[in-house]
Amino acid sequence: MQTCALCSNRLRPPEITFSEKLTLYLGNHTFHLMHMPGHTPFSLAVYIPEERIVFTSDNVNLGMPVFRDSNPEHWLESLKKYQELDVDKVVPGHGAVCDKSCFPQMSALVQSWIDVVADAIDRRLSLEQTLEEVPKAEMFSQMPKEGPGAGFLRMNIERIYEVLKK
């Protein structure tokens, strides 16, 4: 068994695992754990129907989405599944608690990133040309041109380009 480098606790392998769905019952509450790939291949959601709430992990983040480990198409599929849930409150991975209106907003945001990179690919731009041209798009006009924000922009473009070219 491994020891955690940051503490004296020993890391234990999980006793319960799941691949798509798992339902847990605790008192008067039902916890539906659902595999919702997108932001990462292993993203999950926790839906508590009695409270009409869902915890989305980073699949909902109305700031700048991070595509580093993402599959944008799976992300859009998961966002459609979220819309089917009967919820009043959505707890995103980052940002304030919101309502169901965040799902179409997040879908539009992810789709806009896909569209701008897909357009570059349709114009037969290389990755290097895409990295030069895409940041000039209107949707990125307020993005920093230097520092961490510029690094995220570049990383996102590279990842989307890689996924769309497969």
pLDDT at 154 over 90: yes
Residue 76 resides in a domain:
yes
% of the chain beyond a pLDDT of 70:
95
Radius of gyration (C-alpha) of the chain in whole angstroms: 19
Kindly report the pTM of this predicted structure: 0.87
Residue 131 resides in a domain:
yes
pLDDT 10s digits, 92-143: 998 899 999 999 999 999 999 999 999 999 999 999 999 999 999 998 888 8
% of the chain beyond a pLDDT of 90:
75
Residue 3 resides in a domain:
no
User: Residue 79 sits in a domain of what CATH number?
Assistant: 3.60.15.10
Residue 86 resides in a domain:
yes
The count of domains in the chain is: 1
The total of other beta-carbon atoms located within 10 Å of residue 21's CB is: 11
- Domain that residue 99 falls in: 21-165
Are 134 and 145 spatial neighbours (Cβ–Cβ below 8 Å)?
no
Q: What is the mean pLDDT of the chain?
A: 92
Residue 8 resides in a domain:
no
pLDDT at 166 over 70: yes
